[in-house]
């Protein structure tokens, strides 16, 4: 378990009296799919928000590729190589599908207001590169024929894929997927699981929050189970599924008749 790309030690987040994440230790191994599951309110999205710097931890350590994430702003963390999708879609509805993905290339490019406004040669080269790369990611996600549509015009399933394409365009080392299968039909979910594995095969570590248990159990290398902000189990899908505490958390406490 050592040598993980992302590590948390004693990580906690309290909202007043509510312990959203309660002294959590975890490791995300590089190049693997690690899922975080747990009942609603277990602290999964809070964990994602802390990793990406959206909310600061109350305390504890977060370390990414040997670097502390504590106190870094979201855009700095993104530039270190952590990208994400959102549980509630956060697409740029005022932009086309292609432009959404092109925005993902922001961190690899450098043109400022002057070189963009004057359309300097450097900026034009850069722009071409951005476009080609974005088209490549759209093809990877199977959205290339949607490129010129407005992002808000896509059906939900494709919007979810677009968020992944945009995140991939940032060339992340670690990709956080927050409930990517929510709202997808069975066929789309099957396709999604294939896509996630293809992303992993590109060498990108994946951290997945998901309620669709068959998806989680099928593609995860490791599963971390949270309940009320505490880790109740961690291990391979098989181990976790057998864990009595996990079963209790999902099906309710045993009251003697189970």
Partner 1 sequence: MSKKDFYPLLMIVIAIGVFPWVVGGNQYFISILVFMGINSIVTMGLSLLMGYAGQISLGHAGFFGIGAYSSGILTTKYSFHPILAFFAGIFLSAVIAFLVGKPTLRLKGHYMAVATLGFGEILFIFFNELSPLTGGPSGLSGIPTLTFFGHLLEGTTYLYLVWGFVIILLLFSLNLINSRVGRALRAVHGSEIAANAMGVDASWYKVQVFVLSAVYASMAGSLYAHFVTFISPSSFSLMFSILLLMMVVVGGAETIWGALLGAMILTLLPEYLRGLEDFEVLAYGAILMVVLLFMPQGVLQGVRSLFGGKKS
- Confirm or reject binding of residue 67 to partner 1 (CB under 8 A): no
Cα–Cα distance for residue pair 237/228, rounded to 1 Å: 20
Q: What DSSP state is assigned to residue 146? A: G
What mask, x for binding partner 1 by CB under 8 A, covers residues 181 to 220? Answer: ----------------------------------------
Tell me the three state secondary structure of residue 38. Answer: coil
Reference 166, options 101, 233, 236, 238; nearest CA is 101
Nearest of 68, 67, 126 to residue 102 by alpha carbon: 126
CB 69, min distance to partner 1, A: 14
Q: Which of these ranges, 24-32, 74-82, 203-211, 243-251, lies near partner 1 under the rule CB under 8 A?
A: 74-82
Q: Is 233 in the site for partner 1 (CB under 8 A)?
A: no
For the chain, the C-alpha Rg in angstroms (whole number) is 19
> Are the CB atoms for 158 and 146 separated by under 8 Å?
yes
CA distance 220 to 197: 9
Stretch 123-162: interaction string toward partner 1, x if CB under 8 A: x--xx--x--------------------------------
Q: Which of 73, 125, 128, 139 binds partner 1 (CB under 8 A)?
A: 73
Pick from 71, 93, 142, 252 the residue near partner 1 by CB under 8 A: 93
Nearest to 152 by CA among 104, 89, 102, 79: 89
Choose which of 112, 121, 203, 256 interacts with partner 1 (CB under 8 A).
112
Contacting positions for partner 1 (CB under 8 A): 52, 54, 73-75, 78-79, 83-84, 86, 90-95, 99, 102-107, 109, 111-113, 116-119, 123, 126-127, 130, 166-167, 170
């Amino acid at each position: 378990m050592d040598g993980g790309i992302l590590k948390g030690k004693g990580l906690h987040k309290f909202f007043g009296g509510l312990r959203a994440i309660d002294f959590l230790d975890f490791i995300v191994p590089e190049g693997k799919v690690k899922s975080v599951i747990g009942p609603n309110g277990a602290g999964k999205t809070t964990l994602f928000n802390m990793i990406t710097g959206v909310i600061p931890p109350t305390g504890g350590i977060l370390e990414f590729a040997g670097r502390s994430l504590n106190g870094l702003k979201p855009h700095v963390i993104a530039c270190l190589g952590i990208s994400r999708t959102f549980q509630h879609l956060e697409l740029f509805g005022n932009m086309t599908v292609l432009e959404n993905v092109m925005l993902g290339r922001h961190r690899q490019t450098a043109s400022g207001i002057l070189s963009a406004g004057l359309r300097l040669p450097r900026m034009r080269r850069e722009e071409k590169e951005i476009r080609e790369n974005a088209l490549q990611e759209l093809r990877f996600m199977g959205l290339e024929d949607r490129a010129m549509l407005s992002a808000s015009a896509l059906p939900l399933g494709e919007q979810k894929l677009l968020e992944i394409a945009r995140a991939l365009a940032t060339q992340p080392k670690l990709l956080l997927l927050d409930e990517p299968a929510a709202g997808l039909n069975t066929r789309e979910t099957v396709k999604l699981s294939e896509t996630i594995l293809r992303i992993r095969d590109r060498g990108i570590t994946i951290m997945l929050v998901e309620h669709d248990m068959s998806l989680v159990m099928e593609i995860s290398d490791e599963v971390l189970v949270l309940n009320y902000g505490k880790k109740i189990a961690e291990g391979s899908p098989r181990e976790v599924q057998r864990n009595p505490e996990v079963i209790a958390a999902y099906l309710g406490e045993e009251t003697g008749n189970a």
